[in-house]
Amino acid sequence: MNVDIYVVKVGTSVLSDGKGISEEAIKNISYQICDLIDERRRFILVSSGAILSGITVLGLNTTPQKLRLTDKQVCASIGQPYLMSLYEKYFREKGVVTAQILLTEEDLANKIAYKNVWRTMNALLKRNVVPIVNENDAVSVRELLPVNPYVPDDVRFGDNDRLSAVIASKVKSKMLIILSDVDGYYETAPDGTKRLVKEIRVLNNSMIKYAKGQGALGRGGMKSKLEAAKIVAETGIPVVIANGKRPNIIKEILDGVDVGTKILPAKST
């Protein structure tokens, strides 16, 4: 398949309006991707937001981080179909078909399941269908339980940042775009002031070590995003971390507009 594949990861914070899941935010992301699809470009969307969607449907006054494990799984079970219904609605308005793929780390550790995942994903892309991928939070407890010793390090993920990195590396994507509610990676000076880093040529471990941890809504945070970026950059794929609340951010990135933080592929340094 002679096309460029772009992997776009959307964090829960991008899809939140401060009270719950934002239908307008989902519409914005969906429309952007639809408008960019052509005979040379395909997209895989890795989207968080199932738990927050469940919170919204149930009318709960809380955040994903405050829920107990069972309640998170309940909200994910309720929220995932609601989240997909919104994506399906807005992609369909633009004439684009979507497909849902829910994964756990065990799916990628099992050789047979692993092959089936990529076979299915490639078949969807050939049909110009947009796969929408999420970690299967209804059954996955990776973020709360000890590391599974039977799962190889390169397929472990407890957040969608790492999952998007695994996918981008496997499909040899043209670029991984990680969208959050911040403009990119900020460097803190000795006097406490912060500066947006526009480009990272070599992503070293010290940057990752001192990056901020998980946010109020999602499990990742900047540290997780940099870890994901390092995985992808080492396979020769560029990564952009940018603000997903910006109306046309995906198009701007593909057009080469100077937005967000770009992590250059290791092979180009």
Q: What is the pLDDT of residue 208?
A: 83
Integer Cα distance of 134 and 175 in angstroms: 19
Integer Cα distance of 166 and 172 in angstroms: 10
Q: Look up the CATH number of the domain holding residue 37.
A: 3.40.1160.10
* Range of the structural domain that residue 58 is part of: 4-268
Q: What is the pLDDT of residue 95?
A: 97
| CB of 102 closer than 8 Å to CB of 86 | no
Three-state SS at 71: helix
Tally Cβ neighbours within 10 Å of residue 204: 10
Q: What is the pLDDT of residue 220?
A: 63
**pTM, full prediction:** 0.90
Inter-CA distances, 218 with 162, 173, 211, 213, Å: 13, 24, 15, 10
What is the residue-level pLDDT of the chain in tens, covering all 269 positions?
Answer: 689 999 999 999 999 999 999 999 999 999 999 999 988 999 999 999 999 999 999 999 999 889 999 999 999 999 999 999 999 999 999 999 999 999 987 887 788 888 899 999 999 999 999 999 999 887 776 543 434 444 444 444 456 999 999 999 999 999 999 999 999 999 887 888 889 999 999 887 778 877 765 555 556 688 889 999 999 999 999 999 999 999 999 999 999 999 999 999 986 44
Q: What is the pLDDT of residue 216?
A: 53
Q: The tokens 């307008």 sit on which residue? A: 24
Q: What is the pLDDT of residue 153?
A: 46
Q: What is the pLDDT of residue 104?
A: 85
Residue among 134, 186, 177 at smallest CA distance from 157: 134
Q: What is the pLDDT of residue 155?
A: 43
Query: Order of strands across the sheet with 261-263?
Result: 98-103, 130-135, 41-47, 4-10, 175-180, 239-243, 261-263, 199-200
Residue among 50, 102, 46 at smallest CA distance from 71: 50
Residue among 236, 223, 229 at smallest CA distance from 265: 236
Q: What is the pLDDT of residue 138?
A: 78
Domain count, the chain: 1
Give Cβ neighbours of residue 51 (< 8 Å, ≥ 6 apart): 12, 64, 67, 72, 75, 76, 79, 137
Compute CA 140 distance to the chain's CA centroid, rounded to the nearest angstrom.
17
- Which string of DSSP letters, residue by residue, matches 183-232? SS-EEEPTTS-EEE--EESS--HHHHHTS----SSSS--HHHHHHHHHHH
